[in-house]
Structure 1
């Protein structure tokens, strides 16, 4: 069976969504296949984060459908969507600063009742993120920006999702730390987790993604494989500032 014949893991069909009387998404359609890394690109205000919030249940679409393995999940609660296997790592990290690194990880596994299973998953997190293991008793608010981003990703992975949704993972990080974060993203993908990533750094995103969508004012205006998008200077200049 070819990749095109495999049903999408996640699909958005003409999704309309917003906040109160403000419509931010005007019929967004996109999909993620099992095992894919897909990027959503666009300028500030294009609707990227709103798209992710609609997927993870933080806002309810007013039209269109969101499906997971062919089943409609539009408007379901964030907890229900997390249980299905979608984990959302939000913009600006949002770790609990007055809690330890370990406690933050425990909160990422709040749906897991087995203590031994939580410990197993923490062991995986500490293996993947050695600096978090070194600082597991340290307050999250005292970590560097890059370490907090690693913690936010590790916390999201505690639910062992099939799809990890990342919102601006390199925001506010040094170029060196941003590259390190994207190496982690690549490693996660190579271990079988599908990823949908919103990212301002176009080249970092396209270097890990197989495909990308470009949003402008709540509409998809381009979809290409990453290599083709990197070779399209008019598109990069017009919509992505690069």
Structure 2
């Protein structure tokens, strides 16, 4: 049977997500200056660049937390620029935010349940929690534990699992390795690979260039709110002058 997600994206010209000349401001301060990018169904695409380059702002604009001042954002051919965040989630986009932002005084189970607020029935919520536990067995072991008592890596798993509770077609990951040890960061990226292997399209913001390019097929390089380069991941790793110019890598 043909994949309906892929079929829909093909009908829209092959893109699951497309940004066209998107501008965003924080008050009078411009944050994005004409960002254009695409994500195909089944890809992992990385946004890389120095701090303050506009990567997280791009994700927040896609997810409906920020409203573009100009430009167009299309998801499966449908305009979503400026759409409220809850409607964006309902269409199939979920974000795991920077610094995780789990609810520390709630259990792992309660945090996951809150990620399924669009579900119609308790049975459906339980089914989705079971899927998350299958992907993250450590969360199942700690399902009654308060989220605030988890390690940083476990909180990151919980944040990703909570985003997966809406069963997104596109998962936005913002700095998933932030504040983690190298060993735990590698474990989190193993989970990203597994999620991708199960058919979830991922748009990833990550400060660690090598971590990002180890899972991505393509990457966009950002500088001061602009896309300054696009490369396939392997090609970018082999371009030390570009990495040094824009990332200090």
Q: TM-score, normalised by structure 2?
A: 0.95
Residue 239 of structure 2 is matched in structure 1 by: 232
Counterpart contact for 1:170–1:181, Cα < 8 Å: yes
Q: How does 1:1-242 map to 2 (within 5 A)?
A: 7-242=14-249
Segments of structure 2 that go 5 or more residues without pairing to the other structure are 1-5
How many residue pairs get aligned? The number is 241
Please give the alpha-carbon distance, in whole angstroms, between the structure 2 residues aligned to 1:74 and 1:114.
Answer: 30
RMSD of the TM alignment (CA)? Answer: 1.4
Question: How far has the Cα of 1:240 moved from its partner?
Answer: 1.4
Counterpart contact for 1:7–1:70, Cα < 8 Å: no
Deviations 1:83-130 (A, max 9, x none): 000001110000000000000000000110211111011011111111
Question: How far has the Cα of 1:4 moved from its partner?
Answer: 9.2
Counterpart contact for 1:52–1:167, Cα < 8 Å: yes
Segments of structure 1 that go 5 or more residues without pairing to the other structure are none
Segments ≥4 residues shifted beyond 2 Å = 3-6
3-state SS in 2 of match to 1:122 = helix
Q: TM-score, normalised by structure 1?
A: 0.97
Please give the alpha-carbon distance, in whole angstroms, between the structure 2 residues aligned to 1:100 and 1:207.
Answer: 32
Please give the alpha-carbon distance, in whole angstroms, between the structure 2 residues aligned to 1:18 and 1:227.
Answer: 33
Counterpart contact for 1:18–1:50, Cα < 8 Å: no
